[in-house]
Amino acid sequence: VTLARVAEPVASDAEILSRIEAGDLHALGILFDRHEVVVKRFIGRLGVAPAEVDDLVQLTFLDVPGAASRFDGRSSLRSWLFGLAAVVVRRHRRSMARIAAHLAAWASEPSSHVFLAPDEDLESREAAARAMRSLKKLSHRKREVFVMMVLENVSGEDAARALGIPVATVWTRMHHARRELRHLLREKTP
């Protein structure tokens, strides 16, 4: 007997969201499969302690059922998820209860270059470490815009919609983020 695997029709992100809004957990699983990588990468680049990234990724997707009705389809679902993630991260930072977890995470947090492959050369590892340190020195709001636009290739308009700010504010933050980063990168490594 030959068992044929029947492929499930690929649902659009909008369909997935409407199913999630109706309480379909299977749809939430599909959304997680599609976007977990980028959401985790985005949150990790916002300066969250590695030990807390997975939790914040989950919190981001847990916010989807309640926020699904606000997705208007004008921006990509990916950038919309970045907006949810940014809110989750801000909420996380505001939580004073997280301070202790931060301290514990920092105490055991390895240096950033551990995320690099061991075969990368020393120069690349040093450059990556310098970039990470510079990025961490940006303010949260500038970092959100910079990561979203430069590292995740989100358009300025989508970033503005995702973050709920005017497009002009996005350009302003980008301008200052670039200026500060170039200054930071020119500084000698301590």
Partner 1 sequence: VIRRRECPRTWQAAAIEDGRLEGPERASFRQHVAGCSVCAEEVKSLADLRQVMQLVPAMSSTPLEHRRLRAALLRRADAQIIHAADRHAWRRFPVWAVGVLVLAIAVSWGLVRARSRGDLRPGSSAPSFEIADLDHAEWTSAAEGATTRVRLAGGSASFHVAKTAPNQRFLLLLPDGELEVHGTRFLVTLADRGTQHVAVSEGIVSLRLRGAPELSLGAGDQWDRSSIQEPSSPGSAAASVESPHARGSAPRPAGDRGSVAAPDAFAAGVTAFRAGDFARAEQLLDRFLNQATGDPRQEDACFLRAVARSRSGDAEGAAKLAQEYLRRFPNGLRRPEAESLAAAR
| Interface with partner 1 (CB under 8 A) | 23, 25, 28-29, 32-33, 36-37, 40-41, 43-45, 50, 53-54, 57-58, 61-62, 65, 112-113, 115-116, 124, 127-128, 130-132, 134-135, 146, 149-151, 155-156, 171, 174-175, 178, 181-182, 185
In the bound state with partner 1, the residue whose beta carbon lies nearer, of 70 and 179, is 179
In the bound state with partner 1, the residue whose beta carbon lies nearer, of 1 and 119, is 119
In the bound state with partner 1, the residue whose beta carbon lies nearer, of 135 and 162, is 135
In the bound state with partner 1, the residue whose beta carbon lies nearer, of 11 and 167, is 167
Q: How far is the CB of 1 from partner 1 (least distance, A)?
A: 28
Q: How far apart are CA 15 and CA 19, in angstroms?
A: 6
Contact of 59 with 88, CB cutoff 8 Å: yes
Question: Whose structure tokens read 């990561």?
Answer: 147
In the bound state with partner 1, the residue whose beta carbon lies nearer, of 70 and 182, is 182
Q: How far is the CB of 141 from partner 1 (least distance, A)?
A: 17
Q: How far apart are CA 43 and CA 89, in angstroms?
A: 7
Q: How far is the CB of 118 from partner 1 (least distance, A)?
A: 13
In the bound state with partner 1, the residue whose beta carbon lies nearer, of 11 and 150, is 150
Q: How far is the CB of 12 from partner 1 (least distance, A)?
A: 20
- Burial class for 38, CB neighbours closer than 10 Å (0-12, 13-18, 19+): middle
Query: Residue 57 contacts by C-beta under 8 Å, 6 or more apart in sequence?
Result: 36, 39, 40, 43, 85
Phi and psi (nearest 5°) for 189?
Answer: -65, 130
Q: How far is the CB of 2 from partner 1 (least distance, A)?
A: 27
Contact of 68 with 182, CB cutoff 8 Å: no
Q: How far is the CB of 36 from partner 1 (least distance, A)?
A: 6
Torsion over CA of 183, 159, 42 and 94, rounded to 10 degrees? 80
